[in-house]
Homo-oligomer: A and B are copies of this chain.
Amino acid sequence: MGQFVGPVAYGPGAAAILVHMAENSTRTAYTVDSLLAVTVGVFNERGYDGTSMEDLSRAAGISKSSIYHHVRGKEELLKLAVGRALDALFGILAEPEALDGRSVDRLEHVVRRTTEVLLAELPYVTLLLRVRGNTATEQWALERRRDFDHQVAELLRAAVAAGELRADVEPRLATRLLFGMINSIVEWYRPGSKHTDGVAEAVVHLAFDGLRA
């Protein structure tokens, strides 16, 4: 009698997962993940501090207090969301192509994969890139990001030392500008819109070869 139907669309309540409910049921039920998907969209639109629990309540189509059945508080929602982005990014650094081979190839792999992960987990990475530092969770996220940035910078530095990349721009500066460019994608990328095909390839080309004809 019960059946799993999965998410149907994004919108107030629409992202709720119908989990093993009667076929004629009128009640939708959230899981943490489905609630998080709604949450991260609102956080990105209004900012974490600019988002009230009432805003989330409206977006999800459930009462404000119902949210507390799923999570302890607003900050836990933030932690779950940015944690997902961080896990994905650190996962890249653990891939074989990021660990073995010439430094420049590893860097190129990380650049491409970072761009791909950013596109795949856009809402979560977007939120991560916008954290400030007002809460313990935000400070934790910033610390984790610094660790990721450091590891990537070491990779670029090794490629410079091996003579594979230009040495006239300080490696740390180059790293920041390079990843600044990748991260900026969150400010304009919209899945499915024009001009978004081959973004990862464009990033690699611009990064390594520049704009010149």
Contacts and interface: CB of A to CB of B under 8 A. Distances in A.
Interface in A163-213: 163-170, 172-174, 176-181, 183-185, 187-188, 195-196, 199, 202-203, 205-213
A84 interface: no
A207 B180 CA distance: 12
Interface of A: 45-50, 130, 132-134, 163-170, 172-174, 176-181, 183-185, 187-188, 195-196, 199, 202-203, 205-213
Please give me the 8 A-B residue pairs with the lowest Cβ-Cβ distance, nearest first: A180-B184, A210-B210, A49-B50, A181-B181, A49-B49, A209-B210, A169-B202, A47-B132
A180 B188 CA distance: 9
B187 A173 contact: no
Given A177-B184, A177-B203, A202-B169, A213 B134 contact: no
B205 A168 contact: yes
Nearest to A186: B180
5 contacts: A46-B134, A169-B205, A180-B180, A181-B181, A208-B210
A174 B45 contact: no
A47 B187 CA distance: 17
